[in-house]
Amino acid sequence: MKRVVIAFVICLALVMSLVGCTKAPGSGPVESQAPEQPSAAPAETSAAAEPGDAKGLHVVYIPIQTGNPYFDPISQGLQDVVEAAGGTYEMTAADVVDPTAQIPLIKAQIQKGVDVICISPTSVDALNDVCDEARAAGITVIMLNDDITGNESHRDACVIGTNYEEVGYRSIEVFKDIMNGEGDFVVISATTDSPFQNRQIEIYKEMLAKPEYSKLNLLEVVYGNDEPEKSLTEAQAAIQKYDTLKGLLCPTTVAYIAACQAVQNAGLEGKVLVYGTEFPNQANEFLKSGVSQGAILWDTYRMGVVAGELCKAIVFDGFEIKEGATFNAGKYGEAVISAKNIIYGGPPLELTADNVDDYNF
């Protein structure tokens, strides 16, 4: 009889324990309990998510090198857009300007599985294979600030500050005017492989072949590797080497500063004229002091914003990059995909002593 009673008590305890594990919703936390009504809400949220909600956005920017302030506003524009959308933004760069230095950086992003890699290329052809590798892994590859001209099939799109062809033609035209149409000059460029600078120099030479430029004489093209010290050394050497030197034309912001410093140090303001690409804030003092007679650029921050908005459109909206397509570039309005999938950030920006205070970047 005792065995029966004991068995009954044990069974009753088991029943009570099972009842205790099936609390009604809201009666207390039971971590292993399934929801009363299974919901498909998470899937629906993902499908209709706004930027930064259920979907992710991971963008990495690889500029030409570290320590070059030119790329800072571009990076800031990208970062502002990506982070406002709830995404993750990173910038990484090599310490030196070298055609192959960007390759391991790109490979590292492939391993991470980022969504978009934006690259300011150091060469038009050194990155072809690694860009193909990234795209095969499902990563969108966007050239930024410069393009891999002739090898466009190895990237998805290119966002550049403005139509650089216009910058080149306008630069040599203004330079001719400030030189009064004649005189010897030297070009101080970046590296021998820099796509933008090389194209600018091609345009200079094309225009110099015209009759109206016949009295302008290009003595030499020198290369400062976009390094401040080397660029300054090259500018000083040009001043010392050529007694007839009348102008320094600089299609790189680093060389522009170096040329202005060299002219200023030599006390040759107004005798050796300086023109080139530069930020308003960097050019300001030299324009106002008369060391430089003008500068030209584009809104680099705007370029970064447009690139960021393109990244958003691709990842969040499935935007298809093709000639003629448009996307919302935020506060800058509608952006258009031009031939070869190039997007121009905005018009060229010409700077003088009279208008340089109108800009702050």
Q: pLDDT per position in the chain (361 positions), as tens?
A: 434 333 433 333 433 333 333 333 222 222 222 222 222 333 332 233 344 343 689 999 999 999 988 899 999 999 999 999 999 999 999 999 898 999 999 999 999 999 999 999 999 999 999 999 999 999 999 999 999 999 999 999 999 999 989 999 999 999 999 999 999 999 999 999 998 999 999 999 999 999 999 999 999 999 999 999 999 999 999 999 999 999 999 999 999 999 999 999 999 999 999 999 999 999 999 999 999 999 999 999 999 999 999 999 999 999 999 999 999 999 999 999 999 999 999 889 999 999 999 988 8
| CA pair distance 49, 8, nearest whole angstrom | 56
Topology of domain 164-297, per CATH?
Rossmann fold (3.40.50)
Q: What is the pLDDT of residue 55?
A: 63
Going from the C-alpha of 356 to that of each of 131, 190, 286, 288, the distances in angstroms are: 39, 24, 11, 9
- List C-alpha distances in Å: 298 to 161, 201, 301, 351: 6, 18, 9, 10
Q: In degrees, to the nearest 5, what angle opens at C-alpha 232 toward C-alphas 226 and 235?
A: 105
The enclosing H or E element of 58 equals: strand 58-62
Ranges of each domain in the chain: 58-162+300-347, 164-297
Taking each helix axis as running N to C, give the angle between helix 103-112 and helix 128-136, from 0 to 180 degrees, rounded to the nearest 10.
0
Strands (E), 67-139: 88-91, 116-119
Look up the pTM and report it: 0.68
- Parallel/antiparallel/unpaired status of strands 326-328 and 334-336: antiparallel
Domains 58-162+300-347 and 164-297 share a fold: yes
Other Cβ atoms closer than 10 A to 346 = 17
Give the C-alpha separation, 199 to 275, whole Å: 17
Distance CA 78, CA 198 (A): 26
Distance (Å, whole) CA 1 – CA 202: 109
Q: What is the rounded distance in angstroms from the CA atom of residue 331 to the CA atom of residue 272?
A: 41
The two structure tokens encoding residue 139: 């990563």
Are 217 and 242 spatial neighbours (Cβ–Cβ below 8 Å)?
no
Half-sphere exposure of 194 (CA within 13 A, CB side): 22
Whether 283 contacts 295, CB under 8 Å: yes
CATH code: domain 58-162+300-347 is: 3.40.50.2300
Q: How far is it, in rounded angstroms, from Cα 282 to Cα 73?
A: 13
Distance from C-alpha of 120 to C-alpha of 112, rounded to nearest angstrom? 20
DSSP letter string, 237-264: HHHHH-TTEEEEEESSHHHHHHHHHHHH
What tokens were used for 198? 């090389």
